[in-house]
Amino acid sequence: MGASALAVIFFTGIWGGVGVVLPFFVPKGPNRGILQLVLMLTAATCWLFWLCCYMAQMNPLIGPKLDNKTILLIAKEWDLNPRE
């Protein structure tokens, strides 16, 4: 399983719009620079968080993939009855 280019482009576009386009629409006022900075930092951190979560799913840290024979052998050895 690999990365889907469409998903990466889509979410990069969304967070790019929040961080690059929306700061130009902040109304003039004493806190305009702070609001622009907040939008840019929010976009950057949310995009990075999404990217890390998305990439973590490509190689999940879960248990090994076992064959059916191995599972049945473990169940027999551990006195488990998977057929019940």
42 and 19 in contact (C-beta within 8 Å)? yes
For residue range 5-41, what is the model confidence (pLDDT) as tens digits? 899 999 999 999 999 999 999 999 999 999 999 999 9
Answer whether residue 82 is part of any domain: no
**How much is the pTM?**
0.67
Residues 6+ apart with CB under 8 A from 20: 40, 43
Question: What pLDDT was estimated at residue 1?
Answer: 54
33 in a structural domain = yes
Does some domain include residue 84? no
25 inside domain: yes
Quote the domain boundaries for residue 29.
5-77
Question: Per the structure, how many domains does the chain have?
Answer: 1
83 lies in a domain?
no
Residue with tokens 């027999």: 76
